[in-house]
Amino acid sequence: MAKLSVLGSINVDHLMQVGAAPRGGQTIQAKQYQIVAGGKGANQAVAAAKLGADVAMIACIGTDAIGEQMKQGLADIGIDTKGITTITGENTGVAMIYVEDSGENRIGIWPGANASLTETVMSEHKASIQDSDLLLLQLETPVETLVAAAKIAKAAGTRVVLNPAPAKALPEALLSNVDIITPNETEAEQLTGVAISELSDADMAANKLHTKFGIETVLITLGERGVWLSHKGEGKHIAGFVMQAIDTTAAGDTFNGGFVTGLLEGQSMLDSVRFGQAAAALSVTRMGAQSSIPTRVETLALLA
């Protein structure tokens, strides 16, 4: 089976369901509170594993009990956790999340052990990247490590997929080593300067990523409007699924996990996008991050 390596974050999510997020100076009472497993890297690894991929994770946790618990949870669903390093004297990363009645969320992150995923720590597990067919990256760990990992992958013939989230400026040294990039509208604007309101804007942003950095495939996720897929400058709009959203946390992560799983299975680019879209559509109908990710059977049922 084709193999996926995910290099990224592991967080413990403190999730509060509220009518609307509090304004400055305001105290509100939540409708529900949960502590759930999260982190963009772990979310994407879990999505890929639940949807059928062979996944190895490279990440860091703290010396706290919750970190070990989350690592065991990843192992329990079949993820290879040998690349997860425990950082002495650190706590596992934390995300504080308000989920509003509309399904929108507001998130604050403290990196904790994620900040210790240095190039030195990563290089101890570079064989995992070299032996993989695909490397999936996000932006909740140090960018310098992502650059080094992408270079290792390119040298080994491993395809590099970058989900450039949360949005931030990125060095050319990273972007020039990316084969496939999957920004949302905000992240695409951060990277290209193109504000996306129409599909023509998405096409313009995609072409900037093609021409400036040599990125072969650009997928711009457009929320309910679907995805703009551009391969070597040829753009296409792929409509999404319309669902009643309860919580959009980890919807993008679920899409990325599903999309790369499709690629690893040899599905076409279009079918891989649809597979990711179906998984993400189901995830927004449930609360939480990893707890909202559907199974392969559920995803195939929606596609059918």
Instruction: List the binding residues for substrate.
Output: 11-13, 39-43, 140, 253
Contacts of 37 (CB under 8 A, 6+ apart): 10, 11, 12, 13, 46, 70, 73, 289, 290, 291
253 is an active site residue: yes
* C-alpha span between 78 and 53 (Å, rounded): 9
Asked if 106 and 97 touch (Cβ cutoff 8 Å), the reply is: yes
Residues β-bridged to residue 4: 55, 134
Which residues carry a binding-site annotation for K(+)? Answer: 247, 249, 283, 286, 288, 292
CB 65 within 8 A of CB 165: no
Catalytic residue among 54, 80, 201, 253: 253
Q: Residue 243: CB partners within 8 Å, gap ≥ 6?
A: 281, 282, 284, 285
Binding site, by residue number, is 11-13, 39-43, 140, 184, 221-226, 247, 249, 252-253, 283, 286, 288, 292
Identify whether the C-beta of residue 190 lies closer than 8 Å to the C-beta of residue 169.
yes
Known binding residues for ATP: 184, 221-226, 252-253
The catalytic residue positions are 253
